[in-house]
């Protein structure tokens, strides 16, 4: 008897914003009616000049801030109405962050800094450190496991930060100006790592003001004055 394969349910977008606004006291409109969908496995840049709304977008997508109005879904979960503890759990399971200035604990070695990314997952200390070593190997820092931040170069610090962001295997990695504090060679290594992580299935969103970095990625979403002014993919530009 011939069987019919079960119908597969399409995977929900990793990020879905509908008519999202963010207004601060004094009538400052940081985001204006933003619509954005990021599908699983995408590699994109959110690009624009200072004050364009990029950082606010990062905070909204990363559930670090709430919109004034509109709908936000992250990894299929509607953010509106979730408590602070529920948002923390959502971030711990689904979102990793990489920032320009690393935010590493100065008195802790690379393994412990990365293991801290698993503090809210319920994993025990031994498991956290084992997974941290594996994440550091993944970013080519297996030879720097016991080094503290002051013993690392800027590029190595950023790679530790990336390892911390991915140790929990998030669906979405948000990288905020990840090369902004690095020299050109170190920046190229970091971008190569982000491309590699994306190739293995992680959705990667790079927030940047650097048009060269943005133009090197498959998709660009350009912001100005709190609104999306254009969105393109490499194949669209090529065509």
CATH number at residue 123: 3.40.50.300
For the stretch 43-81, pLDDT in tens is 999 999 888 999 899 999 999 999 999 999 999 999 988
Structural domain contains residue 4: no
Percent of the chain scoring above 90 in pLDDT = 75
Supply 152's token pair.
Answer: 């690392």
Confidence of residue 8 (pLDDT cuts 50, 70, 90): low
SS3 of residue 27 by DSSP: coil
Structural domain contains residue 87: yes
Claim: this prediction has a pTM higher than 0.85: yes
- Structural domain harbouring 82: 15-238
Overall size of the chain counted in residues: 239
Helix, strand and coil content of the chain, in percent to the nearest 5, comes to: 35, 25, 40
Structural domain contains residue 139: yes
Structural domain contains residue 9: no
For the stretch 87-96, pLDDT in tens is 988 998 899 9
Structural domain contains residue 8: no
How many CB atoms sit inside 10 A of residue 130's CB? Answer: 14
Q: Which residue has the tokens 């050109």?
A: 184
> How many domains are there within the chain?
1
Query: What's the rounded Cα separation, in Å, for the pair 213 and 139?
Result: 20
Structural domain contains residue 7: no
Structural domain contains residue 160: yes
Structural domain contains residue 173: yes
């Amino acid at each position: 008897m011939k069987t019919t394969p079960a119908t597969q349910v399409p995977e929900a977008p990793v990020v879905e914003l509908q008519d999202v606004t963010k207004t601060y006291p004094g009538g400052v409109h940081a985001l204006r009616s933003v619509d954005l969908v990021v599908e699983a496995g995408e590699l994109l840049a959110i690009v624009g000049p200072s004050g364009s709304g990029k950082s606010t977008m990062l905070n909204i997508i990363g559930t670090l801030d709430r919109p004034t109005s509109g709908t936000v879904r992250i990894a299929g979960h509607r953010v509106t109405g979730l408590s602070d503890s529920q948002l923390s759990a959502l971030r711990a399971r689904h979102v990793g962050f990489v920032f320009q200035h690393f935010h590493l604990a100065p008195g802790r070695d690379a393994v412990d800094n990365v293991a801290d990314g698993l503090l809210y997952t319920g994993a025990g200390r031994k498991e956290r450190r084992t997974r941290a070593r594996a994440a550091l190997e993944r970013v080519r820092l297996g030879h720097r496991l016991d080094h503290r931040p002051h013993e690392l170069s800027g590029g190595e610090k950023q790679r530790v930060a990336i390892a911390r962001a991915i140790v929990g295997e998030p669906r979405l990695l948000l990288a905020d100006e990840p090369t902004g504090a690095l020299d050109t060679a170190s920046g190229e290594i970091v971008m190569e790592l982000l491309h590699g992580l994306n190739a293995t299935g992680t959705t990667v969103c790079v927030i940047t003001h650097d048009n060269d970095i943005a133009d090197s990625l498959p998709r660009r979403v350009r912001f100005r004055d709190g609104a999306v002014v254009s969105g393109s993919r490499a194949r669209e530009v090529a065509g």
